[in-house]
Amino acid sequence: MKHEGIKLVANNKKAYHDYFILEKYEAGLELTGTEVKSLRAGKCSIKEAYVRVENGEIFVVGMNISPYEQGNIFNTDPLRVKKLLMHKAEIAKLAGQIAEKTMTIMPLQVYFKNGRAKLEIGLAKGKKLYDKREDMAKRDAKRDIERALKMRNK
Protein backbone atom coordinates (compact mmCIF):
# COMPACT_ATOMS: atom_id res chain seq x y z
CA MET A 1 0.00 0.00 0.00
CA LYS A 2 1.46 3.35 -1.03
CA HIS A 3 1.12 6.31 1.35
CA GLU A 4 0.86 9.84 0.04
CA GLY A 5 3.57 12.05 1.64
CA ILE A 6 2.26 14.81 3.89
CA LYS A 7 -1.36 15.77 4.62
CA LEU A 8 -1.78 18.99 6.61
CA VAL A 9 -4.48 18.89 9.32
CA ALA A 10 -4.04 22.14 11.28
CA ASN A 11 -1.81 25.19 11.03
CA ASN A 12 -1.00 27.79 13.73
CA LYS A 13 -0.67 31.13 11.92
CA LYS A 14 -0.99 32.99 15.23
CA ALA A 15 2.33 31.54 16.41
CA TYR A 16 4.16 33.15 13.47
CA HIS A 17 2.45 36.48 14.26
CA ASP A 18 3.19 36.49 18.00
CA TYR A 19 6.63 34.80 18.07
CA PHE A 20 9.96 34.62 16.27
CA ILE A 21 10.40 30.94 15.38
CA LEU A 22 14.10 30.13 15.88
CA GLU A 23 14.18 26.35 15.34
CA LYS A 24 11.66 23.76 14.18
CA TYR A 25 11.36 20.14 15.31
CA GLU A 26 9.12 17.25 14.31
CA ALA A 27 7.50 15.19 17.05
CA GLY A 28 5.21 12.19 16.93
CA LEU A 29 1.85 12.31 18.75
CA GLU A 30 0.75 9.61 21.20
CA LEU A 31 -2.99 9.37 20.46
CA THR A 32 -5.92 7.01 20.97
CA GLY A 33 -7.73 5.40 18.03
CA THR A 34 -10.71 7.77 17.99
CA GLU A 35 -8.37 10.79 18.19
CA VAL A 36 -6.56 9.59 15.06
CA LYS A 37 -9.86 9.14 13.22
CA SER A 38 -10.96 12.62 14.28
CA LEU A 39 -7.60 14.05 13.11
CA ARG A 40 -8.01 12.35 9.73
CA ALA A 41 -11.37 14.13 9.44
CA GLY A 42 -9.57 17.44 10.09
CA LYS A 43 -11.14 18.16 13.50
CA CYS A 44 -8.20 19.75 15.29
CA SER A 45 -7.25 23.16 16.69
CA ILE A 46 -3.84 24.23 18.02
CA LYS A 47 -4.45 27.98 18.34
CA GLU A 48 -4.38 28.05 22.17
CA ALA A 49 -1.94 25.16 22.58
CA TYR A 50 1.56 25.24 24.03
CA VAL A 51 4.26 22.66 24.76
CA ARG A 52 5.58 21.81 28.23
CA VAL A 53 8.65 19.78 29.28
CA GLU A 54 8.29 17.70 32.47
CA ASN A 55 10.65 15.06 33.91
CA GLY A 56 12.45 14.48 30.61
CA GLU A 57 9.17 14.07 28.69
CA ILE A 58 7.43 16.56 26.44
CA PHE A 59 3.66 17.24 26.33
CA VAL A 60 1.31 19.43 24.30
CA VAL A 61 -1.32 21.22 26.40
CA GLY A 62 -4.50 22.82 25.05
CA MET A 63 -4.55 21.01 21.71
CA ASN A 64 -8.21 20.43 20.89
CA ILE A 65 -9.08 17.26 18.98
CA SER A 66 -12.88 17.14 18.67
CA PRO A 67 -14.56 13.87 19.70
CA TYR A 68 -15.10 11.40 16.86
CA GLU A 69 -18.79 11.27 15.89
CA GLN A 70 -19.01 7.46 15.76
CA GLY A 71 -16.70 7.06 18.75
CA ASN A 72 -19.21 6.23 21.56
CA ILE A 73 -17.50 5.26 24.86
CA PHE A 74 -13.98 5.26 23.42
CA ASN A 75 -13.88 9.05 22.93
CA THR A 76 -11.44 10.85 25.22
CA ASP A 77 -11.43 14.40 26.60
CA PRO A 78 -10.82 16.78 23.63
CA LEU A 79 -8.37 18.92 25.65
CA ARG A 80 -6.46 16.01 27.19
CA VAL A 81 -2.72 16.56 27.63
CA LYS A 82 -1.02 14.59 24.84
CA LYS A 83 2.48 13.16 25.04
CA LEU A 84 4.92 13.95 22.23
CA LEU A 85 7.42 11.41 20.95
CA MET A 86 10.94 12.79 20.50
CA HIS A 87 14.50 11.63 21.14
CA LYS A 88 15.78 12.26 24.68
CA ALA A 89 18.67 14.36 23.38
CA GLU A 90 16.29 16.68 21.52
CA ILE A 91 14.07 17.03 24.59
CA ALA A 92 17.08 17.80 26.80
CA LYS A 93 18.31 20.41 24.30
CA LEU A 94 14.88 22.11 24.22
CA ALA A 95 14.57 22.01 28.01
CA GLY A 96 18.01 23.64 28.36
CA GLN A 97 17.18 26.43 25.92
CA ILE A 98 13.87 27.18 27.63
CA ALA A 99 15.48 27.26 31.09
CA GLU A 100 18.37 29.56 30.21
CA LYS A 101 16.53 32.08 27.99
CA THR A 102 13.06 33.58 27.89
CA MET A 103 11.76 31.20 25.23
CA THR A 104 8.83 28.88 24.79
CA ILE A 105 7.87 25.96 22.57
CA MET A 106 4.89 26.50 20.28
CA PRO A 107 3.01 23.93 18.16
CA LEU A 108 3.15 25.11 14.54
CA GLN A 109 1.25 22.49 12.56
CA VAL A 110 -0.33 19.05 12.78
CA TYR A 111 -0.01 16.74 9.79
CA PHE A 112 0.14 13.12 8.70
CA LYS A 113 3.48 11.95 7.33
CA ASN A 114 3.45 8.46 5.81
CA GLY A 115 0.29 7.64 7.75
CA ARG A 116 1.57 8.79 11.15
CA ALA A 117 0.33 11.83 13.07
CA LYS A 118 3.10 14.41 13.55
CA LEU A 119 3.30 17.79 15.28
CA GLU A 120 5.77 20.41 14.13
CA ILE A 121 6.94 22.42 17.13
CA GLY A 122 9.08 25.52 17.14
CA LEU A 123 11.44 27.06 19.67
CA ALA A 124 10.00 30.56 19.87
CA LYS A 125 10.85 33.96 21.32
CA GLY A 126 8.02 36.44 21.92
CA LYS A 127 7.63 39.46 19.67
CA LYS A 128 7.15 42.97 21.00
CA LEU A 129 4.39 45.19 19.61
CA TYR A 130 6.79 47.13 17.38
CA ASP A 131 8.06 43.85 15.87
CA LYS A 132 4.51 42.89 14.95
CA ARG A 133 3.90 46.31 13.37
CA GLU A 134 7.14 45.99 11.39
CA ASP A 135 6.09 42.56 10.07
CA MET A 136 2.67 43.89 9.06
CA ALA A 137 4.27 46.84 7.24
CA LYS A 138 6.62 44.49 5.34
CA ARG A 139 3.73 42.22 4.38
CA ASP A 140 1.66 45.19 3.16
CA ALA A 141 4.59 46.55 1.13
CA LYS A 142 5.18 43.14 -0.46
CA ARG A 143 1.48 42.86 -1.34
CA ASP A 144 1.52 46.36 -2.92
CA ILE A 145 4.60 45.49 -5.00
CA GLU A 146 3.01 42.25 -6.23
CA ARG A 147 -0.22 44.08 -7.11
CA ALA A 148 1.72 46.77 -9.04
CA LEU A 149 3.68 44.12 -10.97
CA LYS A 150 0.48 42.24 -11.77
CA MET A 151 -1.15 45.41 -13.11
CA ARG A 152 1.95 46.24 -15.18
CA ASN A 153 2.09 42.79 -16.76
CA LYS A 154 -1.52 42.94 -17.99
Neighbour-count burial of 153, counting CB atoms closer than 10 A to its CB (0-12 exposed, 13-18 middle, 19+ buried)? exposed
Please say if the pLDDT value at position 96 is more than 70.
Answer: yes
Write out 55-97 in H/E/C secondary structure: CCEEEEECCEECCCCCCHHHCCCCCCCEEEECCHHHHHHHHHH
- Which domains, from first to last, does the chain contain? 6-127 (2.40.280.10)
Q: Could you report how far apart the first and last alpha carbons of the chain are, in Å? A: 47
Q: Cα separation of 13 and 95, whole Å?
A: 24
pLDDT of 35: 80
Please say if the pLDDT value at position 24 is more than 80.
Answer: yes
For residues 140 and 70, the model is more confident at: 140
pLDDT of 117: 85
Q: Cα separation of 2 and 37, whole Å?
A: 19
pLDDT of 71: 65
Question: What is the per-residue pLDDT across 113-131, written as a single tens digit (0 to 9) for each?
Answer: 888 888 888 888 877 777 7
Question: What is the per-residue pLDDT across 99-108, written as a single tens digit (0 to 9) for each?
Answer: 877 788 888 8
Specify whether the CB–CB gap between 27 and 86 falls below 8 A. yes
